[in-house]
Structure 1
Amino acid sequence: MIEVGSRPWLRATLALSLGSFLVFLNLYQSHPLLPMLANEFAISSLHSGWTLTGCTAGLAFALLICARLADRFGRRRVMLWTLTGAILLSLVASGVEQFGSLLALRILQGMLLAGLPATAIAYMGEEFTRRALISAVGIYIAANSLGGIAGRVLGGLLAGWFDSWHATFLGIGLISLLLLPLVVWLLPTQRNFTPSQASPGQLRQALGSHLRNPLLVGAYLIGGLNFMVFLNQFSYLTFLLSAEPFSLPPQWLGMLFLTYLSGTLASSISGRCAQHLGAERLLLVGIALMALGALLLLGANLAAILAGLLVSSFGFFLAHACASAWVGQHVTHDRALASSLYLVAYYLGASLGGFYLHPFWVEGQLAGMVLGIELVLLVTAALSLWLARQKAHRQQPLTI
């Protein structure tokens, strides 16, 4: 087993973190391009958003498929082949001229991007000692966040510099292709992997068990619903800020996503906060901060919007770290499958958020969007209270 601090640990951790960075770099590259795509293809804000939501939907759909393929053919092979295919699709997308072709490529790209997130933790669990795993996972999650920020910021910069969305896909595809050989070279060959293939009956039984567990289902719903409104508020704000009186170009719209950095801070302190407050209370604190951040957006000036997004990002990642950790703490079997189901709910929420917020945006613009966000946060706050009661009920001693 690989020990923390050893040369193989450094290589594997760097390889998986860089691979994760490339996944989210490619996933979110279209986020700052939505107004530009809407103008070029003469489509609505909802339709242009499909270039992001279609990609996240493809990822959500393929997570369990990739996990099963990795069980049979090996973690390393599935991660590297799917990542290579996804990067090549960015290059292909840079040359298309029809919106339908772009959307189809993005959905397929999302499916391929699922390969690494679906299997990276399983690779670590098989190859690393427990101490090495805990240390590596923190670095890996930080790379997720940085890749998402870089995809949006770099995507906006490339589109602004060259006045073309094609430049974003070409530039990010080329950068990813240059870094890919480093991932292949660094990632050690698996030594502890044993091929396996669960029978359909076993998989159905495990899925059914997790989906009947209220402590897990509640966390899945909280993660998915929170991400549904958090991610897609950025999408609609790019349309607000690209129009009068702001008229921000794509490169400045990409900078909007630097507010995610407050979420990186929140993730890093979430463990210590949970020890002091308890996971149930911390979930509520995160949701309350998201609600406050959404209300700050109503200031309708750039300073208020940035402040709102900073507060909202901090609250979202606090709640997200808490909900994902909750799953790990309340599952007794098939842990990888339970975590994969959380990711499915998480990215499915991201895919549905554009559809949910669109009527609020059409009817009330910024105020309507904020109303839609607050309604969902009321639901997730209620779910947090419900989870706390479910946990307390299970912990009550039996009396005779």
Structure 2
Amino acid sequence: MCTTRILIIHDHFPGQFGALALHLAANGWDVTFATRTMPVTGPGYRVVSFTPHRDPSSTTHPYAQPMERAVLVGQAFARTALALRKDGYRPDVILCHSGWGAGLFARDIFPKARLVSYAEWWYNSPGTDIAFLAKSYPDVSDQGPDAGMVERARNAHLALELASADACLCPTQFQAAQFPPSIRRDLIVGHDGIDTGFFSPGVAKDPMLGGRVPDDARVVTFATRGMEPHRGFPEFMKALPAILGADRRIHVVIAGRNQVVYGPRPIRLRDWKAEALSTLDLDPARVLFTGALQVNEYRNLLRRSDVHVYLTVPFVLSWSMLEAMSAARRLVLSDTEPVREFAGTDLAILTTISPSSIADAVLTALDDVSDRPQRARNCIKDKVPLCDCLSFRQETLSRSL
């Protein structure tokens, strides 16, 4: 039986494809991974790199700048792919994250390979996220008459990639619903999967979190890639005076980088952490910022958590929420559509993204003695266990052949 050769492409190694690459390699597939961010150690399969030779030009029309950036990334990958082809490499199937343009020319280099695209988001005007934020941040919606055209143009490279794909993957029903009907009807919806064996209840290895949290503290945790309105960070911070004032034993631990990952220019120009710390009266001994965490550290944080808070506007759902569900934590979640796809009031306490509502929800959750945590874990074990999701992805890739 011939070995299936798969070429996986993701700008930021390993992205959503780390577990899948290991799974395929363990099942006899010949895996090659192309990326811009090389791993520190060998993952057990071949990894190659590509790097754009320049940044987009500042003189390029603003509508076309996302496309130029994608073309440069696609060109960089094409050069790496040409070198692979020259050495005799021919993939049977290509799996590409279509967010940055790396797969634009994959079919030109390997015309006989089946191409499977992974699509996360389609930009609408206004998008569900921006329309939601505009209610609280008026300057977000005041972007001028060409804002819609800018958003439409951001889809250009994604549309080109999807047009050449043999199959298109999307992780959630909510994300799939953002695509136009002509694309949405062909999307194969299936989550990347959560390792429920790893993200499980257990004893925290460092229950005092480096000595900064008392052993008897009631710990409220918040984890985010970026401290920004898309993930409810400003509102969470404004809720802290009421939360901390309710019980001297409460300590808050916030994981993540002080950065803005998502949102338009008015949001990106502000330092939301600095603003919160300068305007709110918070006891620094009871509010701990850990910075970005490795996966083992994040699991340890969850295991020490008495209540974990996850907030998001209607946007791409973070793995961190599902991992917290898998770890059987008491949860306070934003009452928004991507959250409700996986968790309702039977699994978590849902709240609006407002400081007073968040504070009330957290204090209620701290005293919640229901079986919501175990039900949340059971939900993840039933809906998106990693082993089932990987098998589904492998089956989808095999069908594309």
TM-score normalised by the chain length of structure 1:
0.27
Kindly indicate whether structure 1 or structure 2 has the higher relative contact order, using CA contacts under 8 Å at least 6 residues apart.
Answer: 1
More helix by share: 1
TM-score normalised by the chain length of structure 2:
0.27
More strand by share: 2
